[in-house]
Amino acid sequence: MKMVNKTYRFRIYPTAEQEILLAKHFGCTRYVYNHFLNERKKQYQANKKSDNYYKQAATLTKLKKEEDTKWLKEVNSQTLQFALRSLDTAFLNFFRGNAQFPKFKSKKRKNTFTIPQFGKLEDGKIIIPKFKDGIKVKLHREVKGKIGKMSITKTPTGKYFVSILCETGEDTLPKLKTDKETTVGIDLGIKSFIVSSDGMEYGNPKFLRKAESKLRYTQRKYSKYKGKRTKQKLAILHEKVTNRRKDFLHKVSSELIKNHDSLAIETLQVSNMLKNHKLAKSISDAGWDMFVTMLEYKANWYGKNILKIGTFEPSSKTCSCCGAINKDLQLKDREWTCGSCGTLLNRDVNAAINIKNFALKNKVSGTDTKNQNELPTLVGVLTSEAPGL
């Protein structure tokens, strides 16, 4: 069993003086990350090798003593070291094929830095190195467990938040038995966000689509005048869309985890699907990746099972009654009649039932979904069907 770690996110209210010191932390962290990323790029281009974390940490110590960069001493040293850790992790993920090549950080986007240790909560304040008086925090729920690292973030709208990672001291619950009766198949879609194998449907709120007219108007106004107030309004509109989407995804994922012991889902290659420009905006608006992540960590907390089928299994085109495959099915076809058994099928419900059946079959046979690459790619299917929309 693994230990349960939970992250709590609260809004903080720094004073004007603390905001200046926070800005220095953001800037120094960004500078260290970008400086050593640039060094690694040059080293790799020159001899196909680059310094690791330990060599760069030693270089950072020397850098803080130089006249031009002695201002790095004004911020917490462990925060700067954590920036190097993050850079090293980014490179490892890149070379392992799990992520793209690390990018330079920009101050125009979300600003953040991490305090790996010595952070604590006292009298409604967070106490971290360099902030002796503490920063006021709004604790809207109880923090349970041993406090680990803290991350301070400033959003584009000018709000400050702290994320607190805690070791709860609790073990994850043992996984429940996978049973056909307590398993539900989930088909993620665009028209309906979710259709389950038991007939439940969750509509797609399409938060970005609904806010598009306001966003376009504000964006045009900002492009023309470049005003600070307009920029702030644009950031607020985007923040509202993001917050509404997260709230919706949390509620749906929690309900599904609460009501079922096992959930069967399709492994979606979202980054590849976004290459279809006719569907990219709708796919991004749905937040499939974030939703699956929520399902996975909540399932680990409560001992539930997440069963995944291969990306390319024909769940939509297979008749859930007789197993016949309809090769002529297009994305616009929401219902279709099986040519083999004559059953009238709802496209999404049929797909959800097949996802459940495929997942249970794979569970029994021990099939690894990562090896199922023989079938045509989902991207190809979507691309070929898009003209029929």
Kindly report, residue by residue over 259-317, the tens digit of the pLDDT: 999 999 988 877 777 777 888 888 888 999 999 999 999 999 889 999 998 877 777 78
Nearest-CA neighbor of 321 among 348, 354, 291, 298?
354
Give yes or no: residues 205 and 75 share one domain.
no
Handedness of CA 230, 231, 232, 234 (dihedral sign): positive
- Report how many domains make up the chain: 2
Q: What is the pLDDT of residue 3?
A: 77
Give yes or no: residues 45 and 143 share one domain.
yes
Query: 187 an active-site residue?
Result: yes
| Of the candidate ranges 163-167, 210-214, 230-234, 381-385, the one whose mean pLDDT is the lowest | 381-385
The number of helices, as runs of H, and strands, as runs of E, in the chain is 10, 14
Q: What is the pLDDT of residue 237?
A: 95
Q: Which of 187, 261, 285, 313 is catalytic?
A: 187
What value does the mean pLDDT take over residues 203-212?
93
Q: Which of 88, 261, 285, 348 is catalytic?
A: 348
- Residue at token pair 């607190």: 164
Give yes or no: residues 219 and 137 share one domain.
no
Last residue of a domain, one of 171, 206, 224: 171
Q: What is the pLDDT of residue 384?
A: 32
Give yes or no: residues 93 and 163 share one domain.
yes
Give yes or no: residues 47 and 163 share one domain.
yes
Nearest-CA neighbor of 153 among 125, 115, 112?
112
Residue 374 pLDDT exceeds 80: no
Q: Which two tokens stand for residue 174?
A: 């043992």
Residue partners of 220: CB distance under 8 A and separation at least 6: none
Give yes or no: residues 155 and 295 share one domain.
no
Give yes or no: residues 363 and 214 share one domain.
yes
Assigned domain for 178 exists: no
Last residue of a domain, one of 136, 171, 206: 171
Assigned domain for 38 exists: yes
Predicted confidence band of residue 373 (pLDDT cuts 50, 70, 90): very low
Query: 348 an active-site residue?
Result: yes
Rounded Cα–Cα distance for residues 45 and 35 (Å): 16
Residue 248 pLDDT exceeds 60: yes
Pairing of strands 183-188, 262-266: parallel
Calculate what percentage of the chain has a pLDDT beyond 70.
Answer: 93
Q: What is the pLDDT of residue 165?
A: 95
Last residue of a domain, one of 171, 198, 223: 171
Domain that residue 248 falls in: 183-388
- Contact between 138 and 164 (Cβ < 8 Å): no
Q: In this structure, what DSSP letter does residue 175 have?
A: P
Q: What is the pLDDT of residue 366?
A: 64
- Contact between 107 and 30 (Cβ < 8 Å): yes
Q: Which of 88, 261, 266, 313 is catalytic?
A: 266
Q: What is the pLDDT of residue 23?
A: 96
Give yes or no: residues 139 and 211 share one domain.
no
Give yes or no: residues 348 and 308 share one domain.
yes
pTM of the predicted structure, to 2 decimals: 0.82
Assigned domain for 300 exists: yes
